[in-house]
Amino acid sequence: MPVKKFVKDTIEKGNFFFRCSTRHLRVLPDFLIVGAQKCGTSSLYRNLVKHPSVIPAFVKEIYFFNNSRNYFQKGVGWYKAYFPSLLYKYYSTHICGNDFLTGEATPGYMFHPHAPKRISELLPEVKIIILLRNPVDRAYSHYYHEVKRKRETLSFEDAIRMEEERLRGEFDRIMKDENYTSSKYVHYSYLLRGIYVDQLKRVYSYFNKNQVIILKSEDFFKDSQATIEKVLQFLGLSGWQPKDFKKANVGSYQKMDPAVRSWLLDYFEPHNHKLYEYLGVNFGWEK
């Protein structure tokens, strides 16, 4: 029986209450995909966990280290309930002879100002995976994500025009109160989420460079296997190719107005330039 089916059918069978009751017998993640939102994190994670040595969390996004759902206050035991048991790790490594890694993917972690510190305190050796997409395309995809979930009623042009007013004071409130929850900051941050350099500086203030890999989403969309191979090498796993690569959460929406795209390219140009200087990499997001 394949090891992942074994864990699903036997060792890990049970509901969340059972997993909570055995939290002291569970592992913490070896890697986190922390962002950015609408950059291909779901596709990367769902194909990565098909690797025989990568065991998924019980849900892809746990939302523990950011405050979008107030889960951080539930404590580390609650978090561990989403990961495999030590018994399964023993079975995988000693009986099946496989490597064993587990992780989750919550793209809000990179964006939340307190998340990198929280992660570093609980998981100081964790590997951090980051996907970055042209912020113009990311913002447009984010907008339709909110429209689809009926959280956004404005046009795209009005939404980006109103963003500063909608978010005014929210970042300061989050910084002042670590437990403050802001739905506006989560849902209406179309432009702010695309200013990557500020978010990466927070990540690197808590993690060494060898713990972090930054991937270009466009490269992943173009050649998914090459990106997966980079991630596997980063995680210390052998080369492998999924048999049935599938993209997740593929959006379908009308083409952006050229005038709006031109405005956004100008808006993000100085922020992208700072990003390129900070990383020493030019992502080529000029069009």
Cα–Cα distance between 89 and 199 in angstroms, integer?
33
Confidence of residue 252 (pLDDT cuts 50, 70, 90): confident
What's the predicted TM-score (pTM) here?
0.92
Q: Which tens digits make up the pLDDT trace of 137-150?
A: 999 999 999 999 99
DSSP single-letter state for residue 107: T
pLDDT of residue 108: 95
Interhelix angle 135-148/156-167, nearest 10 degrees: 90
pLDDT of residue 11: 47
The answer to which of 12-16, 96-100, 118-122 has the lowest mean pLDDT is 12-16
> Do the Cβ atoms of 164 and 112 come closer than 8 Å?
no
> Beta strands of 118-248 (E only): which ranges?
127-132, 212-216
Percentage of residues of the chain with pLDDT beyond 70: 93
Model pLDDT, residue 156: 98
- Contacts (Cβ under 8 Å, ≥6 apart) of 252: none
pLDDT at position 5, please? 56
pLDDT of residue 15: 78
Q: 208-228: per-residue pLDDT in tens?
A: 999 999 999 999 999 999 999
Rounded to whole angstroms, the Cα distance separating 23 from 129 reads: 25
Instruction: Write out pLDDT tens, residues 165-198.
Output: 999 999 999 999 999 999 999 999 999 999 999 9
* Of 110, 113, 106, 118, the residue nearest 171 (C-alpha): 113
- Residue ranges of domains in the chain, CATH in brackets: 3-279 (3.40.50.300)
- Mean of all residue pLDDT scores within the chain: 92
Instruction: Give CA–CA dist 59/103, Å, rounded.
Output: 10
pLDDT value at 8 more than 80 = no
| Residue given tokens 């990466």 in the structure block | 200
